Amino acid sequence: MTRPWFHVPLGALAVTVSLAGAALAADSFIVVQSTTSTANSGLLDAILPEFTEQSGIEVRVVAVGTGQAIKNATNGDGDVLLVHAKPAEEKFVADGWGVQRFDVMYNDFVLVGPSADPAGVKGGSDIVAALQAVAKSESVFASRGDDSGTHKAELRHWGNADIDVKAASGGWYRETGSGMGATLNAAAGMGAYVLSDRATWISFGNKDGMEILVEGDDKLFNQYGVILVNPEKHPSVKAVEGQTFINWLIGPDGQAAIADFKLDGQQLFFPNAE
Amino acid sequence: MQDFAQEFSLALRLILTGDPDLWEIVLLSLQVSLTAVVIAAAIAMPLGAALAVLRFPGRRAVIVLINALMGLPPVVVGLLVYLSLSRSGPLGVLQLLYTPTAMIIAQVLLVAPIITALTRQTVETLDAEYAEQLRSLGVSRLASVPTLLWDGRLALLTALLAGFGRAIAEVGAVIMVGGNINHVTRVMTTTIALETSKGNLALALALGTILIALAITVTAAVSALVERGEGAEVRHA
């Protein structure tokens, strides 16, 4: 008798297919399209178990940039949107893709850069003046360049500073086209200035020679909002479960959980639902 | 610079002490990639062999195309699968996006051209060697496929392992169609990408080392099984 070796992979197929079935058999879950800052900082991992325990609803988080999260939600690939770009969120609702937008929490953006600070902006609290100094000294600036909430905010500040970054793109202005963490890694490698949300910066493990140089400007306010994807546009949306999650997030329990989340003793997000 | 030795010993400890989160990720990686390779092989091996023995107009063009598809960018495959499985896409009703099944589909698309091309190459060489003999026994070209596949099984194993290597190592497609959802679709490569983006470079590198060890283990295990099988065959011959 011969022993065909291809029996082995077929056995593996039987095992793996049955495993795949088990993995898919979760009874009640929602998909939340969210941003890297909420997921990578550990906030969602910290607060979601409490919600799941109370409600029996599992929350599956897809963490991408705000721009992509909104596009995915527009395609119906999610039940709830939790992002940070208020104008884009309001447009999402106005266009009928979302039901209603709620404020959830805020933190702020910070200008991070090399400790050597070639543009001489350290200690400032005026983001517009700081960006003008960066541009004038042609110090390297790493931009997300990915239509994320942080990227949109950064472009607003450049606009206020009256600087045409498009013209400098590829020169001192470098668009990484990737997430906050990848852009921070790139900035660390290039000795570049970079705009980051504070939560990602605090939880970032590769600070290597970089520090916060400008903070505290009112313009650096970073508001997060939550929206139920409109079930009238996408009947597959789990409206009841999704709204249950939103109600929890903007209710006393969710707001307290957000406030309780600390990293290195620092609170990263400040609840401000009405 | 971060302490690699410390992070590596942490990663190793997590594996050895059976850390449930890490093991879940390792097992899902294996489950997705092995399933993808088995499905891809079931399609690609007969296809590659048929391509080797059959003669038809445009055959050269098909071969060139399949060879080129070996270099399919994972991110493009991810995008195509995302667009197909999205709720707004043609297959949206299946609700497969952000599931391990979606990741398997993407990896099948990446792996199948590799196995097809390598199978075609192997079988064509064997066919050139045995064609006359097989024809004289009255075996048609298509009917000779199983014999040729069986005869080339050792070389085809390398094709399978090449496919497995591609599947277990890619991140661009699975992160897009799986979503890197914790406890659902998070695999080794997406975890490494995530830890890198968190700036935990040493931990990411340690996980990368585990991934490489995993690939070596699977390859060695399959090779050992084959050698045992071959040994049995010789004894029974």
Inter-chain CB proximity A180 and B197 less than 8 Å: yes
Residue B28 sits at the chain A interface (C-beta within 8 Å): yes
- Please tell me if residue B99 touches chain A, with a CB cutoff of 8 Å: yes
CATH for B4-228 is 1.10.3720.10
B9 touches chain A (CB under 8 A): no
List, for residues B119-136, the tens digit of each pLDDT value.
Answer: 999 999 999 998 888 888
pTM of the model: 0.86
Interstrand relation of A80-83 and A58-64 (parallel, antiparallel or unpaired): unpaired
Question: Which residues on chain B are in Cβ contact (under 8 Å) with A181?
Answer: 196-199
Contact A9 B225 (CB under 8 A): no
pLDDT of residue B235: 56
Domains of chain A plus CATH, in order, are: 28-106+224-271 (3.40.190.10), 107-220 (3.40.190.10)
Instruction: Place B233 in a pLDDT band, splitting at 50, 70 and 90.
Output: low
What the block records as the tokens of A230 is 């409109």
**How near does any CA of chain A get to the CA of B33, in Å?**
10
Neighbour count for residue A105 (Cβ, 10 Å): 27
Instruction: Give the integer Cα–Cα distance in Å for A88 and A72.
Output: 14
Q: Which of A5, A205, A236 sits opposite B226 (nearest CB)?
A: A5
pLDDT in tens, B64-88: 999 999 999 999 999 999 999 999 9
d(CA B173, CA A63): 15
pLDDT at A38: 93
Cβ within 8 Å, pair B99-A24: yes
Instruction: Name the least confident of A125-134, A205-214, B16-25.
Output: B16-25
pLDDT for the residue B234? 55
pLDDT bin (cut points 50, 70, 90) of residue B237 is very low
> Could you tell me which residues come within 8 angstroms of residue A77 by beta carbon, excluding any fewer than 6 positions away?
A31, A33, A62, B86, B87, B88, B97, B98
- Residues A35 and A63: beta-carbon distance below 8 Å: yes
- What is the Cα–Cα distance from A274 to A186, expressed in whole angstroms? 38
Choose between A123 and B20: higher pLDDT.
Answer: A123
Per-residue pLDDT tens over the stretch B180-227: 999 999 999 999 999 999 988 888 888 898 899 999 999 899 888 877
pLDDT band at A92 (very low <50, low <70, confident <90, very high): very high
The answer to whether B62 and B51 are in contact (CB under 8 A) is yes
3-state secondary structure of B221: helix
Instruction: Please list, residue by residue across A47-72, b when 16 or more beta carbons sit within 10 angstroms of its beta carbon and e when fewer do.
Output: bbeebeeebebbbbbbbbbbbbbbbb
- Interface A-B: count of C-beta contacts within 8 A: 124
Cβ distance A9 to B41 less than 8 Å, yes or no, reads yes
Number of CB atoms found within 10 A of residue A19's CB: 17
> In this predicted model, which residue has the larger pLDDT, B19 or B101?
B101
Residue A52: partners with Cβ closer than 8 Å, 6 or more residues away:
A58, A59
pLDDT digits (tens, 9 = 90+) for A152-182: 999 999 999 999 999 999 999 999 998 899 9
Bridge partners of A59, per DSSP, are A30
Q: Which of A74, A77, A181 sits opposite B199 (nearest CB)?
A: A181
Distance CA B202, CA B5 (A): 8
Axis crossing angle, helix B59-69 with helix B20-53, rounded to the nearest 10? 160
> What pLDDT is recorded for position A8?
42
Confirm if A202 and A264 have CB atoms less than 8 A apart.
yes
Q: Check pLDDT > 80 for residue A259.
A: yes
Q: Is B223 on the interface with A (CB under 8 A)?
A: no
Best of B82, B195, B197, B222 to disrupt the A interface (most A CBs within 10 Å) is B197
Identity of the residue in B87, B196, B225 whose CB atom sits nearest the CB atom of A236: B87
Residues whose CB is less than 8 angstroms from the CB of residue B21 and which lie 6 or more positions away in sequence, other chains included: B14, B183
Q: Identify the three-state secondary structure at position A95.
A: coil
Q: Please, where are the H alpha helices in chain A?
A: 7-23, 36-40, 43-55, 66-74, 86-94, 127-136, 149-160, 165-168, 180-190, 198-203, 239-250, 252-260
Bridge partners for A236 per DSSP: none
Q: Which pair of structure tokens corresponds to residue A237?
A: 């949306």
Mean pLDDT score of chain A, rounded to an integer?
90
Quick check: A26 pLDDT over 70? no
Inter-chain touch B232–A3, beta carbons under 8 Å: yes
| B190 Cβ contact partners less than 8 Å away, ≥ 6 residues apart | B171, B174, B175, B178, B180
Q: Where along chain B do its domains lie?
A: 4-228
Helix (H), strand (E) counts: chain B? 10, 0
Residue to test with chain B: of A10, A36, A60, most B Cβ within 10 A: A60
Cα separation, B105 vs A52, in Å, equals 30
